Amino acid sequence: MAADLPPAAPGTAASPILVADIGGTNARFGLIGGRTVRDTRVLRCADHPSIEDAAAAYLSAVGLAAPGTPGRPRRGAFAVAGPVTGDRIAMTNLVWQFSVGRVRDALGLDGLAVINDFTAVALSVPRLAEEDRRQIGEGTPQPGAVVAVLGPGSGLGVSGLVPGANGRWTALSGEGGHVTMAPVSDRESAVLGQLRKGFDHVSAERVLSGPGLVNLYTALSILDGREPAALTPAQITDTALAGTDPHCVEAVEMFCAMLGTVAGNLALTLGARGGVYIAGGIVPRLGALFAHSRFRKRFAEKGRMREFLAPIPTYVVTHELPAFLGLAEAAGAE
């Protein structure tokens, strides 16, 4: 995880913290005061040339643009879809590139913490209530054990949560969505072979994301000698849920199964006895289709490791803005 926020400057403790969850398509902003997130807004990234412009537009929308305005945030915590290795941030699925220090100064903040978006989602897990998650299949979490988090959206985010002393947790920041995707069936092998004609490297993200759904649908159509329609990820999922196109149905079913494969791999890698959490914008929309898919079966299908994986619970995160909960954790909001 990136460095925590510096201590609040004298006289600013009562100011809210500006939080943002910035993905490849949308930037979600809000203000954290204590344990409460308020004044949330969703801005389209394409409508703003830079992250500081989007943040300034948000502050203007909530009446906090002018320096010195009562209640204006003095600190910020942003989650971004991309690697965070220093001051310079280049987002994976968005043209925005920025300096953390420059954005901090442009917004008039005393401190700005920037962490990976799935680091933020991982940090949200200790703050999730029972109604913020839906269990898929059997299993019981082992208290104080490592937790795995992954989620398909504009890309595929992957993180983990490691327990530490005094009830504190450390979130892992990595790029696990870009691991090589492995097939389990002949049909999956054929699909990945088709995708290799267009990509030098077929990663998990190439199939487990919004664009990945399109890739699956397109490859399946081509393999069956059918001209693929120009469908968006949302159209593919909606058509699959309606059951009106066999290739949309198969694409979503394969998506769920492949997600089970990757989730099982991650659980084995991290020893995630505390559970595996599926976040992101795609899976919660699938509802019963996901619950009855091959996800859970594929999750546990690891040969000799089946007995290790079977007790590990898997959950879909249903909270609307889990990254904000994680940013509150990263910011030390009580």
We report the CATH number of the domain holding residue 147 as 3.40.367.20
Identify whether the C-beta of residue 263 lies closer than 8 Å to the C-beta of residue 295.
Answer: yes
Domain carrying residue 36? 17-116+322-332
Percent of the chain at pLDDT exceeding 90 = 68
Asked if the structure places residue 3 within a domain, the reply is no
Percent of the chain at pLDDT exceeding 70 = 94
Are residues 140 and 111 part of one domain?
Answer: no
Strand stretches in the chain, DSSP E? 17-22, 26-33, 36-44, 75-80, 88-90, 97-99, 111-116, 133-136, 147-152, 156-163, 169-171, 276-278, 314-317
Instruction: Residue 152: name the closest of 78, 242, 260 by CA.
Output: 260
Asked if the structure places residue 84 within a domain, the reply is yes
Asked if the structure places residue 207 within a domain, the reply is yes
Confidence of residue 2 (pLDDT cuts 50, 70, 90): very low
Are residues 110 and 26 part of one domain?
Answer: yes
pLDDT reported for residue 236: 97
Q: Reduced to 3 states, what is the DSSP secondary structure of residue 78?
A: strand
Instruction: Residue 103: name the closest of 112, 94, 91, 95 by CA.
Output: 112
Segment 286-311, tens digit of pLDDT? 999 999 999 999 999 999 999 999 99
The conformation of residue 4, written as its DSSP 8-state character, comes to: P
Segment 162-201, tens digit of pLDDT? 998 777 888 887 889 999 999 999 999 999 999 999 999 9
Are residues 88 and 36 part of one domain?
Answer: yes
- Bind-site residues for ATP: 20-25
- Bind-site residues: 20-25
Q: Reduced to 3 states, what is the DSSP secondary structure of residue 163?
A: strand
Domain total in the chain:
2
Give the separation between CA 53 and CA 194, rounded to whole angstroms: 40
Tokens of 175: 């790029």
- Residue appearing with tokens 């398509």: 25
Those residues whose C-beta lies under 8 Å from the C-beta of residue 258, and which sit 6 or more positions away, are: 181, 184, 188, 204, 207, 208, 298
Least confident of 2-6, 53-57, 136-140, 258-262: 2-6
Least confident of 4-8, 175-179, 209-213, 240-244: 4-8
pLDDT reported for residue 156: 92
Segment 73-82, tens digit of pLDDT? 999 999 987 7
Asked if the structure places residue 192 within a domain, the reply is yes
pLDDT reported for residue 332: 64
Are residues 300 and 175 part of one domain?
Answer: yes
Confidence of residue 23 (pLDDT cuts 50, 70, 90): confident
pLDDT reported for residue 184: 96
CA-based Rg of the chain, rounded to a whole angstrom? 20
Q: What is the mean pLDDT of residues 243-257?
A: 97
pLDDT reported for residue 1: 39
Mean of the per-residue pLDDT values for the chain?
90
Are residues 93 and 231 part of one domain?
Answer: no
Q: What is the mean pLDDT of residues 265-277?
A: 97
Confidence of residue 226 (pLDDT cuts 50, 70, 90): very high
Are residues 88 and 29 part of one domain?
Answer: yes
Residue 7 has pLDDT above 70, yes or no: no
Give the separation between CA 295 and CA 278, rounded to whole angstroms: 11
Burial readout 67-78 (b: 16 or more C-beta within 10 A, e: otherwise): eeeeebbbbbbb
Asked if the structure places residue 7 within a domain, the reply is no
Asked if the structure places residue 274 within a domain, the reply is yes
pLDDT reported for residue 191: 98
pTM of the entire predicted model: 0.82
Are residues 310 and 174 part of one domain?
Answer: yes
Are residues 152 and 300 part of one domain?
Answer: yes
Are residues 183 and 40 part of one domain?
Answer: no
Are residues 71 and 170 part of one domain?
Answer: no
